[in-house]
Amino acid sequence: AKAAGGNRFELADPEADARAITRHGLTTALPTALDRGEFFIEYQPLVHLGDGSVRGAEALVRWLHPQHGVLSPDRFIPLAEHTGLIVPLGRWVLEQSVRQARAWRDANGGDALGPLRINVNLSPCQLTHPGLVQDTVEILERTGVAPDALCLEVTESALIGADDDLLKPLRRLAEMGVDIALDDFGTGYSNLANLRRLPVSVLKLDRSFTQSMQQFPADPVDLKIVEGIVSLAHNLDLAVTVEGVETGAQAEQLRILGCDTAQGWYYARPGPPERLHELALVDATG
Ligand code: C2E
Ligand code: CA
Ligand code: CA
Ligand code: CA
């Protein structure tokens, strides 16, 4: 029971009830939402820390719910995973995003800006779904996008203790040239030596590390940890992306520590595809 105010021996939690009701409502509405076209994707730029150029974007799905307005993925991705809708939804996100990468390329008149790469999140359920490799190949062929323009982000926790069966489709994709990124890196308990076994080429350092770079100079222990991760990653030929960069001081610290690419509100919030293209254009033309 709460100690504050007159609410002391409150037993019911009306907010929790409301949340449960909404959760139930959202779960029932999910399957038709895909058919009704209620999902849309925002794109957040990935910026090269060395020269500040926009190198690509991460696709982040949103649900424009007719009653509740725009819902963030944290509200519905877990429900979609629970009901299995994540497989068709994830396939839709992949197809839309790869099409978008193609549209950016066409709008550039070929590769005037250098190819913008596209990062797409994969849920653990998609990893174990037998159609993953074939769906991805078909989408790339249909859109005429090269495999090396695509990066699939898989969370560290999804791959902890992964056996060979789980890694096989990722290996196939990696052999084709698709990049695999280990998302939210540093939050799980993965054995660093285990990294060698995984077909990944990018580490996405979790936002918690970026947050600890808020003060200048940052906590010396945090600095050492990030420094160690970056040097290990580079020794294993992995690129390091940092997420959640909100200030110039964080960007500068992380650049000095050797991180390769950054993402965060300091550069841009996730936004519509036109916005990403504008950012990339401004960047290329000075
Ligand atoms: P994530 O993959 O770790 O994505 C990064 C999240 O950090 C995004 O939240 C992004 O909007 C947010 N972010 C970006 N820059 C900043 C910053 O500077 N400061 C702060 N505080 N936050 C920042 P979002 O869009 O709400 O997505 C949440 C999570 O939902 C994603 O985390 C990802 O795990 C999942 N998700 C999003 N789209 C998809 C999808 O298409 N499929 C799957 N399976 N999961 C998705
Ligand atoms: Ca991600
Ligand atoms: Ca992440
Ligand atoms: Ca995250």
Task: Report which DSSP code applies to 116.
Answer: P
Task: Work out the mean pLDDT of the chain and round it to a whole number.
Answer: 90
Specify whether the CB–CB gap between 261 and 49 falls below 8 A.
yes
Rounded (to 5) percent helix, strand, coil in the chain: 50, 20, 30
* pTM, two decimal places: 0.92
- The predicted pLDDT at position 4 comes to 47
**How many Å lie between the centroid of ligand 1 and the Cα of residue 164?**
28
**How many Å lie between the centroid of ligand 1 and the Cα of residue 75?**
12
**How many Å lie between the centroid of ligand 3 and the Cα of residue 206?**
6
**Angle between helical axes of 14-35 and 73-83 (0-180°, round to 10):** 70
Weakest-pLDDT range from 88-92, 113-117, 134-138: 113-117
| Ligand 1 binding residues, C-beta < 6 A | 44, 60-61, 72-74, 77, 90, 93, 121, 123, 183-184, 243-246, 263-265, 270
Could you tell me the CA-to-CA distances from 6 to 1, 9, 15, 267 in Å, in that order?
11, 8, 17, 45
Could you tell me the CA-to-CA distances from 164 to 152, 203, 238 in Å, in that order?
18, 20, 21
Q: Strand pairing of 39-48 and 54-65? A: antiparallel
Residue type, 31: P
* Ligand 1 atom with least separation from CA of 263: 15
Residue 3 has pLDDT above 50, yes or no: no
Q: For the residues 250-257, what does the mean pLDDT come to? A: 94
CA-closest residue to ligand 1 atom 17: 244
